[in-house]
């Protein structure tokens, strides 16, 4: 088990290293002639007005919220799905109850109109 995670760790390190090395090589090869106009932020030829941060609408948060809840609930269903072949019928029914609770949440959000992108 641990050596499997070691492999994943090594793989991740290499996966991070390959683009990093490529970027470094390109950084060495590439010319460096900065000037203030080139380095200005790309905003339709205008100076950046204010901080780059602007207000976002709450819809992003709502999607994130629904996603979070669904993600957590689904992840909890994975142990159930792994054991699916071994659990008796009532165990499957429990999983179904779980899915129904999940679905009722979706219906609530839908009826509330929180899923509309306006």
Partner 1 sequence: MIPLYWYLLLSAAIFCIGLFGAITRKNSVGILLSIELMLNAANINLLAFWRYLYAPNGDLRAEVFVIAIFVVAAAEAAVGLAMIISAYRSRQTVVANDMDSLKG
Partner 2 sequence: MTGIQILFIVNALVIIFSAVMTVTARHMIHAALWFVLALLGVAVVYAMLEAGFFAVVQVLIYVGAIAILIIFAVMLTRRALEDQEKPFNRASLVTLLIVGIVFVGLILSIRFWPLLQSTTVPLSPDQLTVGTLGLALTDPQQFALPFEVTSILLLAAMIGAIYIAHERKEKGK
Partner 3 sequence: MSFIQDPIPWVIHWLETLLIGWGLSESLTQVVLFVLGAGLISVGAMFFTTMLIWAERKIGGRFQDRLGPNRVGPWGIFQTFADMLKIFTKEYINPVGVDKVPFNLAPVLSVAAVLAIWSVIPFSQTVFGTDISVGLLIIIAVGGLGEMAIILAGFGSNNKYALLGAFRAVAQLISYEVPLVIVLLIPVMFSGSMGLNDIVAAQKIPFIIYAPVACVIFFICSIAENGRAPFDLIEADSELVAGYNIEYSGLKFGMFFVADFLHAFTSAIVFTTIFLGGWQGPGVEEMPVLGGFYLLLKTLVVYFMMLAIRFTVPRFRIDQMMALNWKVLTPLSLVAVLVTAVVDKSIPQGNSLFRIAALLVANLILWLVADRMITAFRKRHPVQVVSNKRPLARPERLPAGGEGISQ
**DSSP states along 43-110:** STTSPPPS-S-----HHHHHHHHHHHHHHHHHHHHHHHHHTTTTS-HHHHHHHHHHHHHHHHHHHHHH
Q: How many residues bind partner 2 (CB under 8 A)?
A: 49
Number of residues that bind partner 3 (CB under 8 A): 71
From residue 49 to residue 88, the character string flagging contacts with partner 2 as x (rule: CB under 8 A) and all else as - is ----x-xx-x-xxx-xxxxxx-xxx-xx-xxxxxxx-xx-
Quote the least distance from Cβ 1 to partner 2, whole Å. Answer: 5
How crowded is the C-beta side of 106, counted as CA atoms within 13 Å?
10
CA distance 59 to 65: 10
Q: Which of 11, 58, 108, 112 binds partner 3 (CB under 8 A)?
A: 11
Q: According to the binding rule CB under 8 A, does residue 81 interact with partner 1?
A: no
Q: Residue 23 binds which one of partner 1, partner 2, partner 3, none, with CB within 5 to 8 A depending on kind?
A: partner 3
Binding site for partner 1 (CB under 8 A): 58, 61, 65, 68-69, 72, 75-76
């Amino acid at each position: 088990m641990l050596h499997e995670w070691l492999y994943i760790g090594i793989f991740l390190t290499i996966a991070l290293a390959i683009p990093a090395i490529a970027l470094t090589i390109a950084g060495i090869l590439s010319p460096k002639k900065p000037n203030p106009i080139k380095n200005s932020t790309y905003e339709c030829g205008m100076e950046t007005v204010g901080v780059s941060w602007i207000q976002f609408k709450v819809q992003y948060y709502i999607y994130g919220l629904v996603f979070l809840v669904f993600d957590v609930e689904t992840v909890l269903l994975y142990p159930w799905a792994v054991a699916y072949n071994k659990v008796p019928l009532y165990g499957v029914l429990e999983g179904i109850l779980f899915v129904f609770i999940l679905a009722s949440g979706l219906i609530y959000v839908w009826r509330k109109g929180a899923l509309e992108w306006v």
